[in-house]
Amino acid sequence: MSNIKLTFARISDSLSKKNNKKLFLALFATLVLVVAIVAIVSSHKSSYDNNDKSTSHAIIRSACSSTLYPELCFSTIASEPSLSQKVSSHINVIELSLNKTIGIVQRNYFTIEKLLTRKGLTKRAKTALHDCLEIIDETLDELDKAKDDLKDYPSSKKSLPQQAEDLKTLISSAITNQVTCLDGFSHAAADKILRKFLDAGQVHAEHLCSNALAMTKNLTDTDMASYEKNKMVGSNNRKLMVNDKRYNKIIHWPEWISAVDRRLLQSGTVNPDVVVAADGSGNFRTVSAAVAAAPERSSKRYVIKIKAGVYRENVDVPSRKTNIMFLGDGRTKTIITASRNVVDGSTTFNSATVAVVGERFLARGITFQNAAGPSKHQAVALRVGGDLSAFYLCGFIAYQDTLYVHTNRQFFVNCYIAGTIDFIFGNSAVVLQNCDIHARRPNAGQKNMVTAQGRVDPNQNTGIVIQKCRIGATKDLEAVKGTFPTFLGRPWKEYSRTVIMQSTISDVIDPAGWFEWDGDFALNTLFYGEYQNTGAGAATSKRVKWKGFKVITSATEAQSFTPGNFISGSSWLGSTGFPFSLGL
């Protein structure tokens, strides 16, 4: 409009000098018409933009309606510039939500780096901050992977059920990571003061992740309902198949398993790539050295043979070390042990003797031990967050917090787990099948808790499932079991979920079965289920009367917690070479 006015002024001045009134009036009328047309076009464009924006907002409102924090969901995305060009579907809303979440998580990373420069930090505070940096780095990888998977959704490379579970697993893990970071500042007053600087940012990131998960679950659940209705099972599945008589079923081999590995897995033979021997007779003297030398992001299984012996070290298998297998000489012969613990200044997260983050990790015939003792509080033998990890004929021995099933999908079969307080804990989706799970004698005045599951969001696909196992006591506890009450579990987080089914439960378990965490915390929101258990401690008549506790009577409901359904076992357990049962 300003340019039009300037042009008119110039023409008017010129014509006034020539005194040509008729031409002036004609040009004036033309300019008035041009101005009117521009105004109409601008008005229509503004109306179009507003309508377009309104449509985008409606899509965002619809997608956000399934979340726990809908107003945060809407306000986070609605402020995005050029919104009408970016939002035309629910998938677009999830993509934008993930982008915004990544930005907040990155900001939190820089906040933690800055806090590390503060003077006077305790040993544990420094460890907790470094834990957070590691955890947030993993979160960024998970959110980036979720974005990539969403761009290819629905994909011709994976079945729809597999895509759905992969997406939910990635975002569920991202949520748990935000909480794990804060949990590292829970041990002492100085830790809790430092936590205040992180609380707002971590909780904000957790809520954003929660919104992304809720929208993703809503999307995939809707698609899965249509998928099942139209019987599309297998239409987009490009896995290789082989009939394995050991399991009396068809096993689906993922494409990343090479032909050589498939033949080895079928035959039960595993050839090591390197050998670890403390006496120097192998390629390495320590397990850590062998892991450090392993290839990064490998699509081929890399087998580290660990000869009989006691290896006193802390071992980390980082995310870049994928497809690694630890092959021991037997649970009682090959032992990896250390003693980091909270009392001596570690965090629970960092106390693990062995920490596994790399995906598709396997272990067979090894004991993972934390020898810190019952007076050292939290002291983890194994922490595992590597997706699609499996353990066979392994042992996990400690006291409080023995086995930390941190995140992602895991499977344990024919293993031995012993501990005292919360000795199987975490927030992965995990099934323990045909395992011996034994409470041991704790310190005076303590109670034993077999599980402490940490689901923080009702949309997370996580939980602890104990199937066809034997729950009992070690010899030292058996002799004095009346002095130390032992329970199946307690709710560590608000939506704690644990299912025990088809297992033998000894009389070491208190008739009430389950115990409170703190008053009535989580008693209405948890899910604790028992199905077809036997033994002196399996009777449910005196179990707790919490709203969240349930005696499962439906086989259909119980099936949802089997390896085939709960951890997508049909798509990957066959590739481990370990025995397993997919159903009841």
Q: Where are the beta strands (DSSP E) in 455-495?
A: 463-467, 470-473, 486-489
Contact 133, 117 (CB under 8 A): no
313, burial (CB in 10 Å: exposed 0-12, middle 13-18, buried 19+): middle
Rounded distance, CA 135 to CA 233, Å?
36
Placement of tokens 């980390």 in the chain: 316
How far is it, in rounded angstroms, from Cα 287 to Cα 353?
A: 12
Cis peptide before 81 (omega within 30 of 0): no
Calculate the alpha carbon distances from 255 to 54, 95, 215, 232, 570 in Å: 45, 27, 29, 20, 14
| The two structure tokens encoding residue 122 | 């305790």
Give the separation between CA 415 and CA 394, rounded to whole angstroms. Answer: 5
Q: Which residues are catalytic?
A: 401, 422
Angle between helix axes 21-64 and 70-78 (nearest 10 degrees) is: 150
Which CA distances in Å does 350 have to 176, 397, 455? 16, 17, 20
Among 230, 226, 235, 231, which residue's Cα sits nearest to residue 159?
235
Q: How many CA atoms lie within 13 A of 335 on its CB side?
A: 13
* Token pair recorded at residue 507: 């009389």
Q: Can you tell me the distance from the alpha carbon of 415 to that of 396, in angstroms, rounded to the nearest whole number?
A: 8
- Give the separation between CA 506 and CA 481, rounded to whole angstroms: 11
